[in-house]
Structure 1
Amino acid sequence: MTWKVYLSGEIHTPWREELENAVKALGLPVTFYAPVTDHAASDDCGAKILGAEMNPFWHDRKGAGLNSIRTQTLLAQADIVVVKFGDKYRQWNAAFEAGIASCLGKPLIVIHPDEFQHALKEVDSAAHAVTDDCSKVPRLLRYIIEGTLE
């Protein structure tokens, strides 16, 4: 079986690539999926494809609607969802995707700094594993997939 892992969350660090490389080095049968991580493309896709909007609300609404097709489809197909909250920006979209994953009954791994524990207590309570260290996720996946610690 090839496991489908959806990587949600912050887009300002290379955590996805680092995680993918670490999992590949372990030889785990995993395929990764993610939302569009090109910030400008994600923000402007609706207006560029469906037509420009003068009102910023409708500009954002078009983009959010288009992005949600990808996000909802990939979340529904995922075997595991990993959500990383970075410290640079608030990731409302990551919290929303964690909620969708939880409602879909998807196993959820959450990564965030310790100082976010209170703010993310509801997200953490829905998670199956919570860590402050992204480098622990490959080991979590190895245990989940192979049932081995080392």
Structure 2
Amino acid sequence: MGTMPWHVYLSGEIHSDWRARIANAVMEEDLDVELSAPVTNHEASDDCGVAILGDEDKPFWKDHVGAGLNAIRTRTLIEQSDVVVVRFGEQYRQWNAAFDAGYAAALGKPLITLHPEQHDHALKEVDRAALAVAREPEQVVDVLRYVLNGTLPRR
């Protein structure tokens, strides 16, 4: 479609292999896509603020400082992205993922949500802002292949 790769930001839950499944399929299909993501090491993400800027007395302030550092990465990568994919997992509530989806929508970024059907009602407003709602990571790759190359899945 163009000469520069599309930048796709992968936001959301960190407890499953969904990012690896997308990355592997993008590579196998040789799609002109560069993927980025938040820091997915939970401990590093939680402790970055105090590890870099010093200890905080209260958990609220520890989280506050860490969230600020993580936001530098998240906001920058979302702003630089061509497409944002937000995964809502089955086990945990991803409030940060909902925030990322809203931020991407406010910036006018094309948004793809990825979640099981059981979350349809809870995510109806987020899904309404999305241009596609996928159930499996492979469907995200199918969307990317189609919008980049105009090619449908080989099923």
TM bin, normalised by shorter chain, reads over 0.9
In the alignment, which of 122, 127, 136 is matched to residue 124 of structure 1?
Answer: 127
> Per-residue deviation at 1:117?
0.5
Q: 1:133, 1:32 → 2: CA distance?
A: 17
> Per-residue deviation at 1:133?
1.7
Q: 2:29, 2:130 → 1: CA distance?
A: 24
In the alignment, which of 79, 82, 90 is matched to residue 76 of structure 1?
Answer: 79
Are residue 114 (structure 1) and residue 155 (structure 2) matched? no
TM superposition score normalised by structure 1: 0.98
Q: Which residue of the partner structure matches residue 30 of structure 1?
A: 33
Length, aligned pairs only: 150
Are residue 100 (structure 1) and residue 139 (structure 2) matched? no
Could you report, residue by residue, the CA deviation over 1:95-146 in whole angstroms, capped at 9, with x for unpaired residues? 0000000000000000111110110001000000002122211111000101
Q: 2:18, 2:139 → 1: CA distance?
A: 12
Given residue 89 of structure 2, which amino acid in structure 1 is its aligned partner?
G
Q: Please state whether the residue corresponding to 1:32 is helix, strand or coil.
A: strand
Q: 1:134, 1:84 → 2: CA distance?
A: 9
Q: Which residue of the partner structure matches residue 85 of structure 1?
A: 88
Q: Which residue of the partner structure matches residue 142 of structure 2?
A: 139
Are residue 19 (structure 1) and residue 17 (structure 2) matched? no
Gaps of 5+ in 2: none
Given residue 76 of structure 2, which amino acid in structure 1 is its aligned partner?
T
Q: Please state whether the residue corresponding to 2:9 is helix, strand or coil.
A: strand
Gaps of 5+ in 1: none
> Per-residue deviation at 1:149?
1.2
Q: 1:10, 1:135 → 2: CA distance?
A: 16
Q: Please state whether the residue corresponding to 1:36 is helix, strand or coil.
A: coil
Q: 1:134, 1:72 → 2: CA distance?
A: 23
Aligned structure 1 segments of 4 or more residues deviating by more than 2 angstroms? none
Could you report, residue by residue, the CA deviation over 1:5-62 in whole angstroms, capped at 9, with x for unpaired residues? 0000000011111110001111101100000000000000001100011200000000
TM superposition score normalised by structure 2: 0.95
